[in-house]
């Protein structure tokens, strides 16, 4: 066989050996894959040594290889094959270590590894589309979810651009998952509701999650922070993980309202610097995300948000902590002891006001309760304002002051807190059953439209049933509609239900 044929044979053997190594290694677990890779590498090492020996000593006779070019070809063969085998072994080890599942087929492993580097979905048989510069991977039954994700990103994008000082033009993709198990499988992490893969700029989430907005904006913050680091030639791990995660929750509009600050457990911030340690710190009693968010929230309360870009520009964690201590005027240990104090005092004051309002309502001191709640509407956060409006509505309804209840709800809706509007419109629709049933139907239709846009926060079938009842109430024969309302318990406010029963008993004697 001449040299040319030998070279072609080497190429064919190289291709066949590469394919064989891939199939054999990816069909094994972590240990099995390393063992098989070691055997391949041992063969490559022997071939490399023999070829070098042949060239150096001019003893060229080896399994048919007789010339220096042929031995150099054998040397290149061994180097290339060892590189392929090593790469396959690393890929298999990465997937096995990340997923921790020894039962995956090589096709599934290949997809998971590719999805960590390239913008390909980690799940098979997903469809692909692009909208406003974002690539979406989704199943057929999730297609309608793209609209709400896109709407929120378009609403929030400019704010993120202004905050980080960069444009979002680097190719984001979003992959939808239908279960938490799927998220855990693709990420190799337990107990997650979403994550961002910086390797291929992909956000993974469940669009049907009850708090999908917070999850999306949290992960989008990581994406923007990643772009910020690249734009400014900074390392992604330059800042502590607790600050990165706390900032993500802050920009996702998490709120200290949801936390019982007195029971929040704290640990050393420096033990939360590295992401793996951050995740491992979580226990049944301790939530590293809570500490991280509340720390960032406290810093913002005291210093605004202008300090954040300076901390983000830190070159390493040592520089970050020097800047943080200069900002707060105290050492890190002291900041850890004190940062919750102001928030605790504020929470105690707000809770005291709510307690005063409840006590005044119980004592039928409605004017006093109304004044307390109106003060809270001016000073509280959006969740406290929401609660104050609902309590105020109940006060008016309990007194039969329906016009004031309607005016209060309409005022609240006009302020445009979108996350509360479905609840507000449904309550307003119930109140209008007493005053103007035609408006009830109109407000219900608005609530249904918002519910569809938000991903069906309420059961669409239940709202459909309500609409049927309201349509009958507004027909020439309203009795059947009212019967649906009463028999299927479609009114949730107890004061409205009580007054509606009285109204129906008078208008339809003996029918209710």
What integer pLDDT is reported at residue 101 of this predicted model? 56
Structure tokens at 29: 């677990």
What are the distances in angstroms from CA 358 to CA 211, 387, 396, 431?
29, 12, 14, 22
Distance CA 196, CA 187 (A): 9
What backbone torsions phi and psi does residue 458 show, to the nearest 5 degrees? -100, 155
Distance CA 140, CA 145 (A): 10
Tracing tokens 């030639």 back to the chain, one arrives at 233
What integer pLDDT is reported at residue 359 of this predicted model? 94
What integer pLDDT is reported at residue 405 of this predicted model? 95
What are the distances in angstroms from CA 90 to CA 86, 95, 113?
6, 9, 10
Answer for the pair 62, 71: CB distance below 8 angstroms, yes or no: yes
Distance CA 210, CA 487 (A): 30
Helix (H, G, I), strand (E, B) or coil at 196: strand
What integer pLDDT is reported at residue 453 of this predicted model? 77
> Quick one: the chain helix, strand, coil %, rounded to 5?
70, 5, 25
Weakly modelled stretches of the chain, pLDDT under 50: none
DSSP code for 428: H
Distance CA 278, CA 273 (A): 7
What integer pLDDT is reported at residue 455 of this predicted model? 66
What integer pLDDT is reported at residue 467 of this predicted model? 92
Residue from 201, 172, 204 nearest 187 by CA = 204
What integer pLDDT is reported at residue 260 of this predicted model? 84
Answer for the pair 368, 399: CB distance below 8 angstroms, yes or no: no
Domain ranges of the chain: 3-111, 128-330, 344-507
- CATH number 3.40.50.9100 given to 128-330: no
Domain 344-507 is in which class? mainly alpha
Answer for the pair 34, 93: CB distance below 8 angstroms, yes or no: yes
Distance CA 508, CA 481 (A): 13
Cβ atoms within 10 Å, residue 496: 20
In tens, the pLDDT along 206-258 reads 998 888 999 999 999 999 999 999 888 888 788 999 999 999 999 998 887 78
Answer for the pair 199, 118: CB distance below 8 angstroms, yes or no: no
What integer pLDDT is reported at residue 110 of this predicted model? 66
What integer pLDDT is reported at residue 286 of this predicted model? 93
What integer pLDDT is reported at residue 118 of this predicted model? 66
Helix (H, G, I), strand (E, B) or coil at 101: coil
Residue from 302, 304, 281 nearest 292 by CA = 281
Question: Three-state secondary structure along 360-427?
Answer: HHHCCCHHHHHHHHHHHHHHCCHHHHHHHHHHHHHHHHHCCCHHHHHHHHHHHHHCCCHHHHHHHHHH
Query: In terms of DSSP bridges, do strands 202-205 and 173-176 run parallel, antiparallel, or are they unpaired?
Result: parallel
What integer pLDDT is reported at residue 64 of this predicted model? 62
Give the pTM.
Answer: 0.70
């Amino acid at each position: 066989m001449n040299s040319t044929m030998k070279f072609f044979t080497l190429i064919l053997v190289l291709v066949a050996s590469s394919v064989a190594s891939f199939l054999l290694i990816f069909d094994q677990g972590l240990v099995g894959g390393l063992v098989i890779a070691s055997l391949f590498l041992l063969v490559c090492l022997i071939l490399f040594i023999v070829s070098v020996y042949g060239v150096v000593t001019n003893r060229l006779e080896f399994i048919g290889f007789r010339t220096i070019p042929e031995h150099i070809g054998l040397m290149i063969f061994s180097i290339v094959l060892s590189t392929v085998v090593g790469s396959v072994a690393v890929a298999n080890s990465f997937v096995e270590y990340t997923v921790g599942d020894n039962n995956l087929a090589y096709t599934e492993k290949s997809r998971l590894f590719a999805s960590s580097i390239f913008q390909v979905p980690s799940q098979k048989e997903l469809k692909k589309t692009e909208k406003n510069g974002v690539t979406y991977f989704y199943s057929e039954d999730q297609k309608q979810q793209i609209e709400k994700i896109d709407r929120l990103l378009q609403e929030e994008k400019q704010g993120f651009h202004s905050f980080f000082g960069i444009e979002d033009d680097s190719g984001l993709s979003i992959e939808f998952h239908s279960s938490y198990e799927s998220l855990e499988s693709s990420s190799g992490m337990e107990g997650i509701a979403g994550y961002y893969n910086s390797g291929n700029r992909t956000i993974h989430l469940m669009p049907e999650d009850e708090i999908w907005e917070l999850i999306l904006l949290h992960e989008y913050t990581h994406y923007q922070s990643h772009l910020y680091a690249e734009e400014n030639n900074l390392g992604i791990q330059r800042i502590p993980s607790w600050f990165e995660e706390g900032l993500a929750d802050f920009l996702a509009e998490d709120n200290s309202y949801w936390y019982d600050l007195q029971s929040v457990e704290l640990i050393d911030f420096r033990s939360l610097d590295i992401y793996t340690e951050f995740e491992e710190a979580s226990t049944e009693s301790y939530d590293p995300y809570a500490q991280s968010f509340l720390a960032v929230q406290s810093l913002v309360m005291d210093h605004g948000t202008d300090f954040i870009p300076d901390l983000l520009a830190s070159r390493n964690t040592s520089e970050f902590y020097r800047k943080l201590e200069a900002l707060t005027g105290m050492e890190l240990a002291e900041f850890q002891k004190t940062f919750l104090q102001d928030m605790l005092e504020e929470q105690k004051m707000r809770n005291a006001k709510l307690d005063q309002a409840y006590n005044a309502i119980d004592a039928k001191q409605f004017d006093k309760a109304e004044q307390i709640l109106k003060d809270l509407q001016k000073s509280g956060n959006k969740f406290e304002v929401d609660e104050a409006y609902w309590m105020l509505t109940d006060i008016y309804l309990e007194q039969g002051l329906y016009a004031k209840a309607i005016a209060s709800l309409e005022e609240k809706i006009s302020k445009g807190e979108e996350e509360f509007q479905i609840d507000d419109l449904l309550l307003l629709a119930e109140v209008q059953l007493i005053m103007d049933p035609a408006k009830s139907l109109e407000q219900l239709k608005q609530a249904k439209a918002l519910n569809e846009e938000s991903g069906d926060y309420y059961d669409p079938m239940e709202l459909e049933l309500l609409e049927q009842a309201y349509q009958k109430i507004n027909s020439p024969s309203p009795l059947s509609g009212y019967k649906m309302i009463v028999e299927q318990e479609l009114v949730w406010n107890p004061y409205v239900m009580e007054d509606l029963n009285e109204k129906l008993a008078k208008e339809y004697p003996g029918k209710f």
